[in-house]
Amino acid sequence: MYRFCPDYKMRARPIEEHPGKCEQATAIMLMIQNNLDYAVAHHPHELITSGENGAVFQNWAQ
């Protein structure tokens, strides 16, 4: 499933830069992107959250 992995490095943008319609939705996207940000995440390619006990998604296709 790595073929669905983006070819650019994921980074968490400030919440003001997200195109969401409501602040709650953009906050969820920001939390997910924090877990995939190379500067923050432990294992961003494996989709592991910062707690290292679960995955954001099961694979890149999701």
Do 2 and 57 meet the contact criterion of CB atoms below 8 Å apart?
no
Specify the higher pLDDT residue, 38 or 61: 38
Rounded to two decimals, the pTM is: 0.58
Rounded mean pLDDT, 36-46: 76
Report CA torsion sign: 54, 60, 23, 16. positive
| Encoded tokens for 38 | 């190379």
Average predicted confidence (pLDDT) for the chain: 75
Q: What percent of the chain has pLDDT over 70?
A: 71
Who contacts 15 (Cβ-Cβ below 8 Å, separation ≥6)? 23, 26, 27, 30
Q: For residue 54, name the pLDDT band (cuts at 50, 70, 90).
A: low
pLDDT at 49 over 80: no
